[in-house]
Amino acid sequence: GMEHIDSYVFNKVEHIRFNSTVGRYVGYTEHGLKNAEAWNSDAGILGQEQAELERFCKHNADIYYSAIRDKT
């Protein structure tokens, strides 16, 4: 399947990332870990990210498949 990653980078350091495979945020710095913990326990934020993911993946999958269809 497709994996979607949303990274939050500040001053070229990746602090936090949403990983679609595990369906939750992963923190990489002290600040990122705190946010990840807060965001993972907030169903609203997680739900928003999941909805975004659905839209993003479905949209791109549609483009991808129509591109394949047009070539055949």
Give per-residue pLDDT as tens, 4-52: 778 888 888 889 998 888 889 999 999 999 999 999 898 888 888 888 8
Residue 59's CATH number = 3.10.320.10
Domain region containing 42: 5-70
- The domain total for the chain is 1
Contact partners, residue 44, CB within 8 Å, separation at least 6: none
pTM: 0.55
Pairwise CA distance, residues 30 & 27, whole Å: 8
